[in-house]
Amino acid sequence: MLDDINSMSDLDKRVQYLRRTDESAYCLFKRIYKFDSQIGRQIIPDSFQSKVLNYFGRRDALGNIIETLEEVVERIEKQKITKITNKWTGESTLFNSLRADRPGIRGADLEKEKKYVLKLIKESEEGCDFCQAEKYTPEDEFGRIIGKYSITAANIAKYDVWSSLVIFKDHNPLNFSWDEFDDYLKTSYTWFEKVYHNHPQFVFPFFVWNCMPRAGASQIHGHCQILMSKEPYAGVETLHKAYHNYKKEVGTDFFNDLYQVHYSLGLSHKNGNTRFFANITPLKEKEVIIISKNPFEDVKSKKTILKILKCFIESMGVFSFNLSISSPSLNKKEDFPHITRIVDRGSLLKSTADMGGMELYGSSVVANDPYNIINILKDVF
């Protein structure tokens, strides 16, 4: 019975199942989330039906439509919308699985995209400043941190007072081994500690990887952003506030409980002590949250993040992503976990942006089902 309830559009059934079988898990869900599931209705005029069949009809591998006109029209005329909000962070997402079938984004041809990405990477190599980072990038006032596979540079147009880059040795941002990934994080952490040592008022490390221009990278050459700030950045501050308010009002650890809710919904997994889940209020497509020990130092945490990232790239065909790691302050004045978030920024073959006014000013509108994401991830662990 429970195995059949395996999608966000059946979340209401899953929550009702929890209510009957696991009172404490149900209460935990209600404490953190509110959600509503409703049918949005519309009428397709006869004159538009054949176009709708062509736009939205499900197809087999050869591209033949495998649904009847009536089935497609029924699906389009009655769309199930699931709205879910995290009451503590304010994060809110609208799910409509139909949006994954919208014209133009149906089953992107992975091979075509791979070819395009490789071509883009190859072409950007010529005249790439980051391929000769020591020559063509600025350095911080204390010089550079030099790792085996990466080197730091100051950010020529700084985001903030302490805003630098970890530039990979390899131009290709999607091709990295364990040794390389390990080195990127080690180089980053050495830089965080260096800034903190020289300027002890800058205590909050923030690591951001914008991979490919669709995810906000100005250079295709592999690199990450590393920042140190006096206060957490707004997105992280929201998590800090949720964590502290929850502790004050409920008395337990917010992130433990958040994980526990995802566990009871069948949306989490563990690798040793490193816990992760497919977020039910994702900021955008396929968001995964990892709660771990310090991933800059702890090998198991780092290996889990790498495995998830590789799964995004190799199994899910995600070539544009944002990955952030927010850490507790280096002065250790507060306890706060290390939170890693990864999100897909969409196909490079698409000319439309993945985020619009809804994401900026309203709630996130998401097509990919967290149940599909966690099932793909479970297969690789």
Q: How far is the CB of 198 from Zn ion (least distance, A)?
A: 29
Q: Give CA separation, 90 vs 171, 246, 247, 303, 337, in Å.
A: 38, 13, 17, 31, 19
Q: Which stretch binds Zn ion (CB under 5 A): 60-68, 121-129, 210-218, 242-250?
A: 121-129
List phi, psi (to 5°) of 229. -135, 165
Instruction: Mark 308-337 with x for binding to Zn ion (rule: CB under 5 A) and - for no binding.
Output: ------------------------------
Q: What is the dihedral of CA 13, 363, 284, 264, to 10 degrees?
A: -30
Q: How far is the CB of 171 from Zn ion (least distance, A)?
A: 4
Which residue, 81 or 128, has its beta carbon nearer to Zn ion?
128
Which residue, 137 or 268, has its beta carbon nearer to Zn ion?
137
What single-letter amino acid sits at 2?
L
Residue 131 binding Zn ion, by CB under 5 A: yes
Which residue, 221 or 341, has its beta carbon nearer to Zn ion?
221
Among residues 14, 144, 171, 302, the one that binds Zn ion under rule CB under 5 A: 171
Which residue, 25 or 128, has its beta carbon nearer to Zn ion?
128
| Short-list 230, 224, 253, CA closest to 337 | 253
Among residues 221, 269, 302, 338, the one that binds Zn ion under rule CB under 5 A: 221
Contact partners, residue 283, CB within 8 Å, separation at least 6: 91, 341, 343, 359, 364
Strand ranges inside the chain, DSSP E: 33-41, 78-86, 92-95, 150-154, 162-168, 204-211, 223-229, 268-271, 274-278, 288-292, 321-326, 338-344, 364-366
Q: Which stretch binds Zn ion (CB under 5 A): 51-59, 204-212, 221-229, 357-365?
A: 221-229
Among residues 26, 29, 95, 130, the one that binds Zn ion under rule CB under 5 A: 130
SS3 265: coil
Which residue, 130 or 319, has its beta carbon nearer to Zn ion?
130
Residue 169 binding Zn ion, by CB under 5 A: no
What is d(CA 378, CA 381) in angstroms, rounded to the nearest whole number? 5
Q: Give CA separation, 365 vs 3, 190, 214, 279, 312, in Å.
A: 26, 38, 18, 14, 20
Which residue, 21 or 132, has its beta carbon nearer to Zn ion?
132
Which residue, 105 or 128, has its beta carbon nearer to Zn ion?
128
Q: Which stretch binds Zn ion (CB under 5 A): 34-42, 64-72, 127-135, 302-310?
A: 127-135
What is d(CA 9, CA 30) in angstroms, rounded to the nearest whole number? 18
Tokens of 17: 């199942």
Question: How many other CB atoms are there within 10 angstroms of residue 16's CB atom?
Answer: 13
The C-alpha angle with vertex 156 and arms to 150 and 161, in degrees rounded to 5, equals: 95
SS3 42: coil
Instruction: Mark 179-218 with x for binding to Zn ion (rule: CB under 5 A) and - for no binding.
Output: ----------------------------------------
Q: Is 96 left (phi over 0), alpha (psi -120 to 50) or beta?
A: beta
Q: How far is the CB of 318 from Zn ion (least distance, A)?
A: 21
Q: Which stretch binds Zn ion (CB under 5 A): 130-138, 176-184, 200-208, 228-236?
A: 130-138
The C-alpha angle with vertex 84 and arms to 266 and 6, in degrees rounded to 5, equals: 30
Q: How far is the CB of 297 from Zn ion (least distance, A)?
A: 28
Find the residue with minimal CB distance to Zn ion.
Answer: 128
Which residue, 132 or 315, has its beta carbon nearer to Zn ion?
132
Residue 149 binding Zn ion, by CB under 5 A: no
How many residues at the interface with Zn ion, by CB under 5 A?
A: 5
Q: Which residues make up the interface to Zn ion (CB under 5 A)?
A: 128, 130-131, 171, 221
